Structure formats: C-alpha cells, structure tokens
Amino acid sequence: MQAPEIPGVALVLVALCFPFLTNIIQAVGGSFAMLFSEARRRELVCRINFKQSVDVSYVLFIPAYALVLYLSGVSPHSYWYILGVLAGWAVVREVILFFARRRSGSPTLADTGRFFRSIFVLCTLFSLPVALLPWLAPTWVPGVSSVVVAVIVGISLLTYIYKSYKAFLSPKFSHISSFLYLCGLDLFPIVVVVTLLVQ
C-alpha cells in the first residue's frame, strides 16, 4: 500500500473508464440480469452491443482487479506482478477458449466465456469498494478487506461454475465433458493463478 506508483495507477484507471462509461454501465446492468434469469442470459450473449460492452469492461477491469488484490492485501506481491499474472491468465484463457471453440463448433463455449467475463466484471465491482475502505476509513481493520475480497471471489467462482455446468448439460455435452471443460479452462488455471499470487 506504500508503493508510490499506486495512486498514479488508480488515476489512470479512472481516466480510462470515463470514455467507456456507457459500456461499463451496460455491461454491469446486463451482468446482473444474467445472474437471475437464464432466458435473459441466453438473450444477452447474442447481442453484439452487450458483447462489446462486456469485452471492453473485462479488459479495463483486469488492471482494476489487480489493484484490488494489491490494496486489500490478498497478495503480498507488487501491483505489477499481480497485473502480469492476471493478464497472462486472461490471455492463456482466451487462447484455450478460442481453440476449444473451433474444435467443438459449439456456441455454448463462446457463451460461457462471455458469462465468465460478466462474472469477473461484477466481482471487480463488488471488491473495489472493500479494497479502498482502509484508505477511506482509517478505523477499518486492513486484514478484514482481504477476507471479504476472498469471500466475494469464492461466491463469484461458485456462481460461474454452477451456471456454466448447467449450460453445458445438453445432448452434445455429457457430465464428464462438462466437468473436464471446467477443469481445463477454469479450475486448474485458477488454482495455478491463486498459487502464484498468494505465495
């Protein structure tokens, strides 16, 4: 938290968000709707403007979430190390998703990938105020922020995995293939990322 570059990074992130504020609002609103309605989720993942808004917000929120992990004390590493791990994870995930989508030819993979981005946007949105509390309220116990952020991450991941698993259960995807997809694309990489961040 004492690193001098963090306030500058935060200002840059805020400045970058302003030109895309409409996209962010649309992505957040649509992401909330997707959580509570399966029909709404299927409708939104087909809309070009929503896809673009979620993609833009996802890219902007990766450095924002690195800031969350740094300020909350979840990771003992520097901000730039955390950002590098998250950015690398995002790139690897998109590459795997791209080839998996080409191999299977199923739109479910693309829809699930975009749903992950929506969950990530909401996770960042809920986590950011918690990470900033030690700065805004000096009486706030700093260690509590890391616990609350970890809980938000856990709830977000469980929601994504549950809804994605349900989406994959179809004549084309068996229970086994759905489980293997989630392990290969999400669960195993997340374990690797968490290990890199907390050690």
Q: Is 186 helix (H, G, I), strand (E, B) or coil?
A: helix
- pLDDT score, position 142: 62
The tens digit of pLDDT for each residue in 176-198 reads 666 666 676 677 777 788 888 88
Q: What pLDDT is attached to residue 50?
A: 78
Q: Which of 160, 170, 46, 159 is nearest to 111 (CA)?
A: 46
Q: What is the model's pLDDT at position 182?
A: 67
Determine contact, residues 50/170, Cβ cutoff 8 Å. Answer: no
What's the pLDDT score for residue 86? 92
| Total domains in the fold of the chain | 1
- Whole-number Å distance between alpha carbons of 136 and 166: 40
CA separation for the pair 146, 58 (Å, rounded): 22
Distance CA 20, CA 101 (A): 28
pTM score of the predicted model: 0.81
pLDDT of residue 137: 67
Task: Give the position of tokens 């907390």.
Answer: 198
pLDDT of residue 36: 75
Whole-number Å distance between alpha carbons of 194 and 199 = 8
Q: What are phi and psi of 170, to 5 degrees?
A: -150, 175
Q: Could you give the CA distance from residue 193 to residue 5 in angstroms, rounded to a whole number?
A: 23
The pLDDT of residue 3 is 37
Give the three-class secondary structure for 11: helix
| DSSP designation for 138 | T
Residue span of the structural domain in which 53 resides = 5-198
If we measure between CA atoms, which residue out of 113, 108, 145 comes closest to residue 130? 145
Counting as low any pLDDT under 70, the low residues of the chain are 1-7, 38-42, 45-46, 104-110, 135-142, 165-182, 184-185
Whether 70 contacts 6, CB under 8 Å: yes
